Each structure stands twice: as structure tokens, then as C-alpha cells.
Amino acid sequence: MCTMIAHQVQIMGRAKSGLEWFEVREANVSYDHPYDLPLEHALNLDFVNEALGPGARVAVELSVDAARQLVKAIEAVLAQADQRGVLEDVPVIAVPAHIRQ
């Protein structure tokens, strides 16, 4: 894209697309042109599973302020959970969708 500002982080998690959940293995974070948000540039979050092809993607496009608020909220929730001693820092095991409940 026009800024080419993009980072990728390996993750383990699940994302919902339509009625289906699927395993996500990468999160792509970019500050570049969004597809739907009516801004020239946005903070774009793509939760993907590259092994499943380009269509395995859950996308969120945020304004800068919204992105900053989201980061703060995530940090605050994790800190609160840590304080209460309920943080489960256990990696999610990758399980193929067809054998999950």
C-alpha cells in the first residue's frame, strides 16, 4: 500500500467469520489505506491464517484514536486480570477445526 507500514505477529487464537470460528495464526497490523472506513489511512488489524488462504481473515479498521483506546483497554484488562491472579498465560493449542467441538 502507500505507506507500507506493516507488522506481523504470530498468534494463537480463534476468530469468527460469519457463523464459523476458525484458527488464526497471524495478526497483521498496518497503518495504511483501509478498505471500508472512510479515511485515507487507518490502523488496520487483520487476524488471518495464511495456511488457509487469503480468505481466512477477520478484518478491523480503526481510526488512530480508536486504536489507541483499544491498546489502552487491552493493557488495562490484562493488568487487572494479573492483579487478581486470574491471568492464564497458557498458549492455545492449535487444533484443526474439524476435530474441535
Partner 1 sequence: MAHTYQTDQYEGMIAETVTMRGHNGDTIGAYVARPLGSGPFPGMVVIHHAPGWDEWYRECTRRFAHHGYVAISPNLYHRDGHGTPEDVGAKVRAAGGAPDARVLGDLDGANAWLRSLPYVTRKVGIFGTCSGGRQAFLAGCRVKGLDAVIECWGGRVVQSKEELTPNQPVAPIEYTKDLSAPILGLFGNEDKSPTPEQVNQHEAELKKHGKQYEFHRYDGAGHGFFYYDRAAYRQEQAVDGWKKLFAFTEKTLR
Q: Does 82 bind partner 1 (CB under 8 A)?
A: no
- Confirm or reject binding of residue 3 to partner 1 (CB under 8 A): yes
Taking the C-alpha atoms of residue 11 and residue 19, their distance in angstroms, rounded to an integer, is: 22
Cα–Cα distance measured from residue 71 to residue 60, given in angstroms and rounded to the nearest whole number: 14
| Binding of residue 86 to partner 1 (CB under 8 A) | no
Q: Report the interface residues with partner 1, using CB under 8 A.
A: 1-4, 6, 8, 26, 28, 30, 32-33, 35, 38-41, 44, 46, 48, 50, 53-55, 57, 59
